[in-house]
Amino acid sequence: MRFSNINFPFFPFVIISLLHCIYKLKQNYYMKKIIFLLLITFTMQGFAQEISKEYDRIGKFNRGVALVWKNKLVGLINTNGKELVKPEYEKIGSFGGDNLAFTTMYGKIGIINLEGKVVVQNTYESISQFNGSLAITKMNGLYGIINKKGKVLVKNEYQKLKLGKYGDVRAVKDGQEVLLDIKE
């Protein structure tokens, strides 16, 4: 049963009627409880308000945010309904333990944080998962490296780039393999 479509002028009549019944039924303890519960139900339903804009779909909340879809584009809202990211992305991935999520816009990849702030603009063809604090990016067929703050540590100028398990970074430029020293 939904009460959200009840016309507001109807509420004073219901409240006055319920109060009158309580007055008349002073002796009947259980009837008072039932009427009191009905009164609370009507009051709670009558004062509910929508906190978000209209969306085609609202996802589940996780870490205080939910994905929202409108016209096949995705954005982000918080539990108060505040729009953190307007629906402008083709895709927003899951937020990892670092509170970062990959985004796709016009076929390009970027990164946002849990507050909806853009960490990396959607300019890359691809961005790898972070290996520690570093990720390999691809732009115009060439590879580079960024950190979790979005700072470019290695420009996209290498044909190949690999992060080693011991922190070594190997790259190929103009057919020559080089070892890079990354400074954050």
Choosing from 102, 124, 146, the residue where a domain stops is 124
Examine residue 17 and state whether it is found in any structural domain, yes or no.
Answer: yes
Examine residue 5 and state whether it is found in any structural domain, yes or no.
Answer: no
Residue 41: pLDDT band by 50, 70, 90 thresholds? low
Q: For residue range 98-153, what is the model confidence (pLDDT) as tens digits?
A: 999 999 999 999 999 999 999 999 999 999 999 989 999 999 999 999 999 999 99
Examine residue 86 and state whether it is found in any structural domain, yes or no.
Answer: yes
Residues 117 and 135 in one domain: no
Examine residue 97 and state whether it is found in any structural domain, yes or no.
Answer: yes
Examine residue 4 and state whether it is found in any structural domain, yes or no.
Answer: no
DSSP state of 96: -
Examine residue 3 and state whether it is found in any structural domain, yes or no.
Answer: no
Does residue 9 have a pLDDT over 60?
no
Residues 71 and 38 in one domain: no
In angstroms, the CA 113 to CA 101 distance is 6
Residues 59 and 98 in one domain: yes
The number of distinct structural domains making up the chain is 3
Examine residue 54 and state whether it is found in any structural domain, yes or no.
Answer: yes
For the purposes of burial, counting CB atoms within 10 Å of the CB of 70, is it exposed (0-12), middle (13-18) or buried (19 or more)? Answer: middle
* Nearest alpha-carbon partner for 173 in 137, 152, 147, 144: 144
Query: Rounded to a whole number, what is the distance in angstroms from the first to the last CA of the chain?
Result: 59
Does residue 50 have a pLDDT over 80?
no
pTM of the model: 0.71
Could you tell me the CATH number of the domain that includes residue 117? 2.40.10
Examine residue 1 and state whether it is found in any structural domain, yes or no.
Answer: no
Asked whether the beta carbons of 59 and 68 are under 8 A apart, the reply is yes
Residues 59 and 84 in one domain: yes
Residues 61 and 111 in one domain: yes
Mean pLDDT, residues 50-60 taken together: 80
Residues 56 and 69 in one domain: yes
> Which residue range is the domain that position 88 belongs to?
50-124
